[in-house]
Structure 1
Amino acid sequence: MKISSLSLHSKFLVGLAVASMVIAFILAAGFYVHIRHVLEGEIEDKAKLVFAQVDSIQHYVRQVLRPRMYEELNDSFVIEAMSSSFISRHIMGKVNDDAGPYIYRRVAVNSRNPDFEARPEELALLSTFQEDPDRVLWQGYRELGGVEYFVMARPVSFDASCMYCHGRPEDAPRELIDLYGTRGFGHAEGAVDGLDLVGVPFTAAVVQIQGAVMSYLVIFCTAMLLFFASTNLVFKRVVVNNLKVLTSLFKRNFSDDKGTELLRQVEKGDEIDTMIQGMERLGEHLYETRAQLQDYAANLEHKVADRTRELGREARSREADVNLFVHLLAGLNRSQTRAELWRQSLPPIVDRFNLEKAAYVCALSTHSSYSWPPCDRDPELPQDWLSLLSECRVVVTEGRAFIPVESSQGYTEGLLCLYRKEGAVFRPQDHEVLRALGRQLGVAVENLNALDNLMRHMDNLQSVFEGISDPLLLVDRSGRAVTGNQAARTLAQELGGPEAEQGNLLPLLCAGHGEGADCDLGRALAGDGFVSREVSHSGRMFAVSFYPVQSARDAGPDRIIVAVRDVTAEKDLMAQMTRSEKLASVGKLAAGLAHEINNPLGVILCYAELLKAGLTDPQQRQDLEVIMKHTRQAQRVLRDLLNFARPKAGTAKPVDLAAEAASVVQVFGIKAEKRGVRLRLEALGGGAPLVRMAPHALEHILANLLLNALDVVPDNTGDILVQTVAEADSGEVVLRVEDNGPGIPPADLPRIFDPFYTTKEVNKGTGLGLTVVYGFVSDLGGRIEAGNRKEGGAVFDIRLPVAAPDKPGVEEAA
């Protein structure tokens, strides 16, 4: 019900009631806040008083009683007279019993007495002081045991005097250990491991406050009811009855509908101004009624014909309005921009209202305008056009109309300006049509803006989606790709060929993985949330992660975002780091063992040679030869260990890799020729850049690789190729050794550089050759990669950095 439709009597009572309720609420709220503030102050003072009492007790025990007891009892310890915590707990426990629901607790972490171990809520308070060491007091409201308490807590730290009983068990009094065992020790000096807590009940006091406030409201409401009754009686007798007597005089004289309605309005309003206005309208109505009766008597036939023509014009106007709105809707469907919308909309508006011109002025930051017929000049606006926009007010004069173009949410997009031809005017019936026209155009502009924002937002999202370097897919519940970014499409073509559809990587990455053939897509859809796993394909490792997308109907995830990341380089780097750490550890161990074992072996070999010189028995001399042979073999193993473990001495200098490799190949060429093995050297990429290294390092590296190759290739058909390749793009020189032997079993590839790991037969290898090669390459800042050729046989690639140009006058050292 609207306030303006109420009578004067009702308005008076409603205003009086609202004022009384506001006053009652303000007084009750102020009364409640004041009493609560006073109560909180009293409770806080009580809590502080308890802390003061506890401090007094503990100060007396520490400063007076405990020293006196030590004087009397020497090293004996009486907990009832010397422990400040024990005494304060017992005294305050009595206070708790006598004072009712008040709480005092002195607790600690790893308390000596389990009854005083900190509870979870006390641990939470204790953590507050541990995180903020400068804080000395905490106070607030906490619910303990279902009752709301005002809690005041302070930290307890362990100082030097506390360490006697709470430090190490061997320093503590014997009586404490006999009484509590080893519990309660291990506290550090200065640690905040304890808490003093005082709780004062607050719920009962709040209930009392609320009861007092409610009593006050009841008394106030009773008084107000009595006041309303007396005021109503006085107002009714003095004002309302007299007004009704005055209006009753007119009832007998009005029988037509308009006169009766005017009389009813007069009776409805009790205000004096409303009554006067009603009487004036009654007089005007009487005059108009008399004039109409005289006019009807003289011109009834002409008026019927005029009314018929007017109804015909009205029907044609409404038909034209319908056609106009249909045309506007059709233009909206064809429009993609604001300019197209107004080019489609303004001409039919001009035709419908027979206008001289129509224009639209945008109220946004662009302040652009569109006119029909086209005109270079901006349309002429009224002086108060800003107020028209802010108030969404339509202004129609005889020859002009200004209609705010209003959106569905009440925002004004711009101003539609219509200019009639000279002598033509807008009829009153056109006003509502123009208002509806403004709203329709506003909704159309709003829809265009929404569509434009949506397309821009989609373009931004698509740019971000395509700009992500890692492959991303959006798949449905069946695993079919809905969309994917360029990185996903590129990877799909790399793994599956050009026929890979829409970059769908799941069938390519997850095929052949047993129960996880869908890469755990089912787990993610089942509600497990984020799921991730690693898969391999074509020798590469990929981390596949699933992010469920919740459906709009809240019926669980219906789509999954799949993120794929190539982690091959990371895996290789981790394996290389693990191998380097392992080699470093083995090298340290090998150096120590070699030094300790080599000396006894030298003694054994020396005495064996002495015994051999003094023996004449052939069998004994043969036995000593066996001992000496195996002793020398052990020394060779130790020498390889030392070569692997000790720093690589030598002078580093720029070395021509191809030339040095040629000299080593020439040395091993004789051995290869005897076995009918083909040993070749190729230098690719033109003149190879220089590599900074000690020449003997390359000899060790290439000698070990060639010896291994000669051991595995077959006689007469064996083929060994040594290549040096310069890679200008990477700034590296590659030394490659290939053979046509049996190759390296895939299971052995991760371990071939481990010390003492060999695939050769017993007594044909120490397992240190490739380990030494790996150590040399690592010291040179390069890396070594092992694999198998497609044609069969092993291949080793050693990548070394190109040497930087020498600076004149600087001596190079290893």
Structure 2
Amino acid sequence: MEQNHTLSSGISNSSIGLQSRFMLGLACIFICFCIVVTAFLYLHEKKLLEEDVYQKTELIMAAVESTRGYVREVLRPKMYEVLGDETFVLEAMSTSYIGRVVMDRFQDKLPSFAYRRVAINARNPKFEANDLELAKINYFAEHPEEDDWHGIVKSGSRHMYMRFRPVRFTPPCFRCHGDPDDAPQAVVDLYGNERGFGRRLDVVSGVVSVGVPVDVGLVPIMEVAWKVFCTTFISVFLLYGIVWFFFNKLIIRDLRGLLEIFRDNLRDEYGVQLYEQARTKDEFGELAASVQAVARHLRTTRHQLEDYAKNLEKKVEERTLALRRSEQSLREKVITRGQELRTLNTISELITQSVHLADILPKVLQQALKVIPAEGAGIYLLDRQRARLVLQCRERAEILDETIPFDPLVCLPFLDEKMLDFDRFIQEAACSRLSLTGEEAVLVNNFNVPLCCRSQVLGVMTFVGRDLEEVDVQLQELLFSIGHQIGITIESLQNIARLVESKELLQSVFDGITDVVILLDAEYRIKMVNKAFLDRHGLHLEEILNRSLIELPLKNPCPFTACRTPLAQLPETPVVEQIDGRDGHIYEVNFYPLFSDRGEVRNVVCYAKDITEKKQVEQRIQQTEKLVSLGQLAAGVAHEINNPLGIILCYTDNLLEDNEDLDPSVLEDIRVIEKHARSCQRIVTDLLNFSRSQKTDKRHGSINRAIEEVVALVRQQFLKQKIRLTLHLEDELPDIFLDLDKMKQVFLNLLMNAAHAIDDEGVILVVSRYEAEDNRLVVTVEDNGRGIDREVVDKIFDPFFTTKSQSGGTGLGLSVSYGIVRDHDGDIQVESKPGKWTRFTIILPVQPSGAR
């Protein structure tokens, strides 16, 4: 009672609460923060100012020392050489004098800079060291390793940045500053023989100083520092207000709720509420008072319990003994559970060590037998198609059947870890057989554990023996976990096998596409290619994956690199482009973009198909259709023109027969008419021959023979034109079915066109060869003439199209040749490089022996 009253009085007399102390401390921290930030900024700016001034003083000292060095090393020796050793010109030979004069001129331009070179017992009394300079001379004398001192010092009412360097005399200096007897007479006459002499080697006798006023720089720094302090103080003050607001909202409000509980429930033994004792305090003080009240109550209760303890020793001993027995039992259970857990972990490790069920299941079975009192065990997997269990492995259980009928739908109700009566369900699923063995149920018992995953039974692990009644609920839970783990593994491995099979199937389909197919990302990096791409460029899959298509060492031209549309800018619909490859082939390139969730191109399936042969077939079909239509037109026109030409020729013949009374000039005109009429008749005859489907007389013959006969026919004419005709005819070419006369017409037409394309002294090369792989003959006629322009290459087989002059031909020669080759089931192609060469290629199939 007295204790409680004393404690309450102590709490009431507390002068300041915990909340107030917290807020006061926070305010002190914020003020210190403002001071530290301001001081840091001030010192930083001051340091920058000092570094800037230091660089300026460095320039001044460097300039003075350079001048002194020039006088000492160049000018003074030269003066001695010219004037003699006893002569001394102060204005040209004294480094100190020249240095001061230079700096005096410098100070006239920049009076704010102060330069002094002083010494103890200076030769000129005006440059005797003052107190500050004496202090620095002593500093350098006491610290011989120091060669520089700089800092801000106060000189009167100004702050000056001062920099000092020691002056040490070296042997060359002793000529004028050593023994007066050795000094030049001019120096002695000028300054006397007392001041400035008697200097010692490497002893600091003076200093060089440069001073720069820094008041102009320090004032803005101080102003900025004060502004930063005020700004930071205001910001911190606002932060302090925010902290105070949220502190009261988030902490004090919760504390008040807690204190309400104390106020309503904690009472002292006189019935006075705690609120009456601590109402003069803030929330933290009241909470402290409440906690102290609880502590007092606990202390009182402890004293009461100590009194009761003496009477309860016997009961406690009994309870302790019971607890020991319970502890022993729990320890045994913990050991058992630990062993089961280790078994489960071992099984989990075994499952991850292999990807083949045949390797995993026997080891899992051995580990499971270590925790269950069974004589043997086996694992069955479900064959759903045949609705049966198939034995996969066994351990000391030869009596197990190889197959068991099984309906997995019966087992669906037990696939819940809370329902552990799964042995009954499994036996019902196994056609109500009490055992999975072929023995009588009285001889052996079975305990069955399902291997399940995602509410699906994948198999059964069965244990056989006579002591399986001892399997308790905890062990059943362990076995259910093992079965569930095995079920997950079985499904994972089966999924992996199906995935690998699907991948191989997809790859086989992908590789089965004979055209080039690749998968690129938006940066042209290769993600997947088919076998056609690898074979085309002689590459291996491992060396191109994730590499840029543009950087690959491709053996053949790649049509994808010539596409005009950037992959990253493809539209949502597939894009088709036709590409003319550098290898002369034509490709149809298809792009199928795959987009991400954000609508960006993630990958692109690129498919390229070689449509060169297709284009050539289309061109041949168009050429054939054009020939047919033009042939029909030519036949009609020829018939319409042929009749008037016959009448004209008939009358000209009559006039020429009865020419006795005609004037010779008239006869000459009639002959001109006859000549041109017959020329028209010849053209009409050619048109009729072109339009008619003439019968071909194909026989077994040699293509080389046709070439040689045509060459013999034109050789003399080519010699006159200085055209060299070269033959490279392959020996023993197989004979083919051909109309020899018409093929000679084709070769003659090609040779005459080649001769016409050669201006003078050209070369015509005729080559024949047999391509056994395609079972065909190939004949090429090549000249080094002026070539054919690209824009007319596709038109040269058109009827009436010619590049010759108006009197050079009808434009039917190549059209007729094209028709003859097509009648032989062959093909004629042209290649040309304008100004270089032209090559016609005739391809004729070699028919099997006996075919017509």
Q: Give the TM-score normalised by structure 1.
A: 0.54
Are residues 1:369 and 2:391 paired? yes
Cα deviation for residue 599 of structure 1 reads: 3.6
Match of 1:331 in 2: 350
Residues 1:740 and 1:641: Cα distance change in structure 2 (over 3 Å):
same
Structure 1: how far apart are the matches of 2:456 and 2:695? 83
Are residues 1:702 and 2:747 paired? yes
Letter of the aligned partner of 1:336 in structure 2?
V
Structure 2: how far apart are the matches of 1:582 and 1:387? 73
From 526, 548, 555, give the equivalent of 1:481: 526
Q: Structure 2 matches for 1:62-77, cutoff 5 A?
A: none
Work out whether residues 375 and 397 of structure 2, in 8 Å CA contact, stay in contact via their aligned partners in 1.
no
Work out whether residues 473 and 563 of structure 1, in 8 Å CA contact, stay in contact via their aligned partners in 2.
yes
Are residues 1:577 and 2:621 paired? yes
Q: Structure 2 matches for 1:166-177, cutoff 5 A?
A: none
Q: Structure 2 matches for 1:723-742, cutoff 5 A?
A: 723-742=767-786
Letter of the aligned partner of 1:765 in structure 2?
G
Q: Structure 2 matches for 1:240-279, cutoff 5 A?
A: none
- Cα distance per residue 1:499-519 (max 9 Å; x no partner): 898795999325455xx343x
Match of 2:685 in 1: 639
- Cα distance per residue 1:68-118 (max 9 Å; x no partner): xxxxxxxxxxxxxxxxxxxxxxxxxxxxxxxxxxxxxxxxxxxxxxxxxxx
Work out whether residues 357 and 371 of structure 1, in 8 Å CA contact, stay in contact via their aligned partners in 2.
no
Residues 1:582 and 1:718: Cα distance change in structure 2 (over 3 Å):
same
- Cα distance per residue 1:309-333 (max 9 Å; x no partner): 2111011122223222222222222
Q: Between Structure 1 and Structure 2, how many residues are aligned?
A: 501
Letter of the aligned partner of 1:653 in structure 2?
R
Cα deviation for residue 625 of structure 1 reads: 5.5
Cα deviation for residue 666 of structure 1 reads: 0.9
Residues 1:484 and 1:394: Cα distance change in structure 2 (over 3 Å):
same
Q: Structure 2 matches for 1:315-714, cutoff 5 A?
A: 315-353=334-372, 356-364=375-383, 367-369=389-391, 371=393, 373=395, 378=400, 392=414, 393-395=421-423, 402-418=447-463, 425-492=470-537, 504=549, 508-512=558-562, 516-518=564-566, 521=567, 524=570, 526-527=571-572, 529-537=573-581, 538-549=583-594, 551=596, 553=597, 558-605=602-649, 607-608=651-652, 613=659, 626-649=672-695, 651-684=697-730, 686-693=732-739, 695-714=740-759
Residues 1:466 and 1:801: Cα distance change in structure 2 (over 3 Å):
closer
Cα deviation for residue 664 of structure 1 reads: 1.9
Helix, strand or coil: the match of 1:747?
Answer: helix
Cα deviation for residue 586 of structure 1 reads: 0.8
Match of 2:326 in 1: 307
Work out whether residues 379 and 417 of structure 1, in 8 Å CA contact, stay in contact via their aligned partners in 2.
no
Letter of the aligned partner of 1:481 in structure 2?
I
Structure 1: how far apart are the matches of 2:497 and 2:844? 57
Helix, strand or coil: the match of 1:748?
Answer: helix
Helix, strand or coil: the match of 1:668?
Answer: helix
Which stretch shows the higher mean deviation, 373-382 or 768-777? 373-382
Work out whether residues 357 and 373 of structure 1, in 8 Å CA contact, stay in contact via their aligned partners in 2.
yes
Cα deviation for residue 575 of structure 1 reads: 0.9
Work out whether residues 704 and 773 of structure 1, in 8 Å CA contact, stay in contact via their aligned partners in 2.
yes
Residues 1:482 and 1:395: Cα distance change in structure 2 (over 3 Å):
same
Match of 1:795 in 2: 839
Structure 1: how far apart are the matches of 2:710 and 2:660? 43
Work out whether residues 408 and 457 of structure 2, in 8 Å CA contact, stay in contact via their aligned partners in 1.
no
Letter of the aligned partner of 1:707 in structure 2?
M
Work out whether residues 489 and 504 of structure 1, in 8 Å CA contact, stay in contact via their aligned partners in 2.
no
Structure 2: how far apart are the matches of 1:381 and 1:618? 122
Match of 1:31 in 2: none
From 733, 749, 757, give the equivalent of 2:801: 757
Match of 1:782 in 2: 826
Residues 1:577 and 1:381: Cα distance change in structure 2 (over 3 Å):
closer
Identical columns (%): 27
Q: Give the TM-score normalised by structure 2.
A: 0.52
- Cα distance per residue 1:93-150 (max 9 Å; x no partner): xxxxxxxxxxxxxxxxxxxxxxxxxxxxxxxxxxxxxxxxxxxxxxxxxxxxxxxxxx
Q: Structure 2 matches for 1:12-411, cutoff 5 A?
A: 304-353=323-372, 356-364=375-383, 367-369=389-391, 371=393, 373=395, 378=400, 392=414, 393-395=421-423, 402-411=447-456
Structure 2: how far apart are the matches of 1:462 and 1:336? 22
Letter of the aligned partner of 1:346 in structure 2?
L
Cα deviation for residue 386 of structure 1 reads: 8.5
Residues 1:481 and 1:298: Cα distance change in structure 2 (over 3 Å):
closer
Letter of the aligned partner of 2:763 in structure 1?
D
Helix, strand or coil: the match of 1:648?
Answer: coil
Structure 2: how far apart are the matches of 1:360 and 1:779? 75
Residues 1:320 and 1:627: Cα distance change in structure 2 (over 3 Å):
same
Letter of the aligned partner of 2:482 in structure 1?
L
Cα deviation for residue 626 of structure 1 reads: 4.8
Consecutive unaligned residues in structure 1, runs of 5 or more: 1-295
Residues 1:615 and 1:607: Cα distance change in structure 2 (over 3 Å):
farther
Cα deviation for residue 705 of structure 1 reads: 1.4
Structure 1: how far apart are the matches of 2:479 and 2:697? 97
Work out whether residues 404 and 415 of structure 1, in 8 Å CA contact, stay in contact via their aligned partners in 2.
yes
Letter of the aligned partner of 1:686 in structure 2?
E
Work out whether residues 691 and 801 of structure 1, in 8 Å CA contact, stay in contact via their aligned partners in 2.
no
Structure 2: how far apart are the matches of 1:556 and 1:511? 21
Residues 1:771 and 1:374: Cα distance change in structure 2 (over 3 Å):
farther
Letter of the aligned partner of 1:641 in structure 2?
L
Cα deviation for residue 422 of structure 1 reads: 7.1
Structure 2: how far apart are the matches of 1:383 and 1:544? 57
Q: Which has the larger radius of gyration?
A: 2
Cα deviation for residue 486 of structure 1 reads: 1.0
Helix, strand or coil: the match of 1:461?
Answer: helix
Which stretch shows the higher mean deviation, 318-327 or 353-362? 353-362
Letter of the aligned partner of 1:640 in structure 2?
D
Letter of the aligned partner of 1:668 in structure 2?
V
Cα deviation for residue 719 of structure 1 reads: 2.1
Structure 2: how far apart are the matches of 1:381 and 1:628? 107
Work out whether residues 473 and 504 of structure 1, in 8 Å CA contact, stay in contact via their aligned partners in 2.
no
Structure 2: how far apart are the matches of 1:402 and 1:550? 54
Cα deviation for residue 438 of structure 1 reads: 2.2
- Cα distance per residue 1:332-391 (max 9 Å; x no partner): 222202122223423332334465444322233684435575766637999999899566
Structure 2: how far apart are the matches of 1:387 and 1:578? 68
Structure 1: how far apart are the matches of 2:777 and 2:363? 71
Helix, strand or coil: the match of 2:791?
Answer: coil
Structure 2: how far apart are the matches of 1:435 and 1:374? 22
Work out whether residues 446 and 468 of structure 2, in 8 Å CA contact, stay in contact via their aligned partners in 1.
no
Work out whether residues 476 and 559 of structure 1, in 8 Å CA contact, stay in contact via their aligned partners in 2.
yes
Residues 1:391 and 1:381: Cα distance change in structure 2 (over 3 Å):
farther
Helix, strand or coil: the match of 2:808?
Answer: coil
Cα deviation for residue 628 of structure 1 reads: 4.4
Structure 2: how far apart are the matches of 1:385 and 1:592? 86
Work out whether residues 700 and 735 of structure 2, in 8 Å CA contact, stay in contact via their aligned partners in 1.
no
Helix, strand or coil: the match of 2:790?
Answer: coil
Structure 1: how far apart are the matches of 2:492 and 2:774? 56
Cα deviation for residue 751 of structure 1 reads: 0.6
Cα deviation for residue 750 of structure 1 reads: 0.8
Work out whether residues 473 and 481 of structure 1, in 8 Å CA contact, stay in contact via their aligned partners in 2.
yes
Helix, strand or coil: the match of 2:558?
Answer: helix
Cα deviation for residue 577 of structure 1 reads: 0.6
